[in-house]
């Protein structure tokens, strides 16, 4: 019998992961490209990226598009603009040549991967931030309203708070701490006001370029900067608030334990963000159990694709 495959696409503001698994749960190929944030790259740019990523993935594995049993495309900002959704929903058809797929928000990839598709809540803190959870057949999301007035606790948000602290240290509204020196050195600034040119340049700064500066705030924490530490503490508070809002939407009984997991680049900082997240979640409710992610969001997209196809798979140990 011919083999069939499941395709998962985990989009993001900085990178997009493509993963392919067979029906036995063996991951046979993976690939990675840049941002799939259509607000930044446009519909044509998204089509080009998905076509390149899927084509490279399938060709490398020797798999034809018609052998893909089902695919899930987790796309950033999906579901946040009714006018855009109609365009997003048809792009994969042009890539795959069939209708055996579904598009959704990339938050689902993080949830399905972190919790293996089981009930609970996943909080994403990458370029942006968003949370998603399921309980007893219900689903809910929180946060993720965009970097201009939301995305609290994300890399972009942390970077903006860091830039704000740098400006305050520069003109005396805050005492200069290690954060000031970290930004001066990392951005090769002759004077602190040069940061305006470094950030804005000749065109508006991209979302992922700003988000990357969150690494400087983390570096400042390691250097002992109190203000930078406070930024990460507030990030943990904001992420905890998103989780708690989702729990309330899901109408989870107050005495029932709720598993919470996480995904996204900010969590590469480890205890710098996990400690305040745990502490602020505990202050909101004693019912939360924070668990380490089981799988990556890319693998989560595969698990979700199989679930949508009515053919759930168990990943093999070598996945």
Question: pLDDT tens digits, residue range 233-267?
Answer: 999 999 999 999 999 999 999 889 999 999 999 99
pLDDT at 69: 97
Residue 318 falls inside a structural domain: no
Residue 253 falls inside a structural domain: yes
The DSSP code sequence of 147-161 is TTT--TTSHHHHHHH
Give the separation between CA 262 and CA 114, rounded to whole angstroms.
Answer: 7
| Domain that residue 54 falls in | 5-115+296-308
Shared-domain flag, residues 167 and 254: yes
Rounded to 5°, the CA angle 141-144-145 comes to 115
Shared-domain flag, residues 136 and 277: yes
Tell me: pLDDT of 123 over 80.
yes
Tell me: pLDDT of 207 over 70.
yes
Residue 225 falls inside a structural domain: yes
Residue 317 falls inside a structural domain: no
pLDDT at 317: 54
Residue 272 falls inside a structural domain: yes
What is the pLDDT averaged over residues 23-33?
96
Shared-domain flag, residues 202 and 67: no
Query: What is the rounded average pLDDT for all residues in the chain?
Result: 96
Bridge partners of 10, per DSSP, are 17, 74
Q: What global pTM score does this model have?
A: 0.94
Residues 147-205 have pLDDT tens digits of 999 999 999 999 999 999 999 999 999 999 999 999 999 999 999 999 999 999 877 88
Domain containing 256 — which CATH number? 3.30.420.40
Residue 315 falls inside a structural domain: no
Give the separation between CA 115 and CA 222, rounded to whole angstroms.
Answer: 30
The percent of residues above 70 in pLDDT, for the chain, comes to: 98
Give the separation between CA 146 and CA 16, rounded to whole angstroms.
Answer: 18
pLDDT band at 276 (very low <50, low <70, confident <90, very high): very high
Shared-domain flag, residues 34 and 177: no
- Angstrom distances, CA of residue 55 to CA of 48, 62, 76, 140, 264: 10, 10, 20, 33, 25
pLDDT band at 318 (very low <50, low <70, confident <90, very high): low
Shared-domain flag, residues 15 and 94: yes
Shared-domain flag, residues 20 and 163: no
129 neighbors 277 (Cβ within 8 angstroms): no
Shared-domain flag, residues 160 and 271: yes
pLDDT at 240: 98
pLDDT at 248: 96
Residue 319 falls inside a structural domain: no
Tell me: pLDDT of 319 over 60.
no
What's the number of domains the chain is made of? 2
Shared-domain flag, residues 123 and 92: no
Residues 58-110 have pLDDT tens digits of 999 999 999 999 999 999 999 999 999 999 999 999 999 999 999 999 999 99
Residue 180 falls inside a structural domain: yes
Residues 6+ apart with CB under 8 A from 202: none
Shared-domain flag, residues 105 and 135: no
Shared-domain flag, residues 199 and 302: no
Shared-domain flag, residues 179 and 56: no
Shared-domain flag, residues 148 and 239: yes
């Amino acid at each position: 019998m011919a083999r069939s495959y499941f395709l998962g696409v985990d989009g993001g503001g900085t990178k997009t992961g493509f993963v392919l698994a067979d029906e036995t749960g063996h991951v046979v190929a993976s690939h990675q490209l840049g941002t799939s944030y259509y607000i930044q790259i446009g519909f044509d740019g998204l089509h080009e990226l998905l076509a390149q990523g899927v084509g490279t993935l399938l060709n490398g594995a020797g798999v034809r598009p018609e052998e893909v049993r089902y695919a899930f495309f987790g796309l950033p900002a999906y579901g946040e603009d009714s006018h855009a959704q109609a365009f997003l929903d048809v792009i994969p058809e042009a890539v795959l040549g069939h209708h055996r797929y579904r598009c959704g928000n990339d938050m689902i990839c993080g949830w399905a991967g972190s919790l293996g598709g089981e009930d609970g809540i996943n909080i994403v803190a990458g370029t942006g931030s968003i949370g998603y959870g399921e309980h007893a057949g219900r689903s809910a999301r929180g946060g993720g309203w965009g970097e201009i007035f939301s995305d609290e606790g994300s890399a972009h948000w942390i970077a903006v708070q860091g830039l704000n602290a740098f400006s305050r240290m520069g003109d005396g509204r805050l005492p200069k701490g290690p954060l000031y020196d970290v930004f001066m050195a990392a951005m090769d600034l002759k004077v602190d006001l040069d940061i305006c040119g470094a950030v804005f340049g000749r065109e508006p700064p991209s979302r992922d370029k700003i988000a990357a500066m969150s690494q400087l705030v983390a570096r400042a924490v390691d250097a002992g900067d109190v203000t930078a530490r406070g930024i990460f503490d507030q990030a943990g508070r904001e992420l905890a608030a998103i989780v708690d809002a989702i729990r309330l939407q899901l109408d989870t009984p107050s005495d029932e334990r709720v598993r919470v997991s996480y995904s996204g680049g900010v969590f590469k900082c480890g205890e710098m963000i996990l400690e305040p997240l745990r502490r602020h979640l505990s202050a909101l409710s004693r019912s939360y159990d924070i668990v380490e992610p089981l799988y990556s969001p890319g693998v989560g997209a595969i698990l979700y694709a199989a679930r949508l196809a009515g053919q759930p798979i168990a990943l093999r140990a070598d996945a």
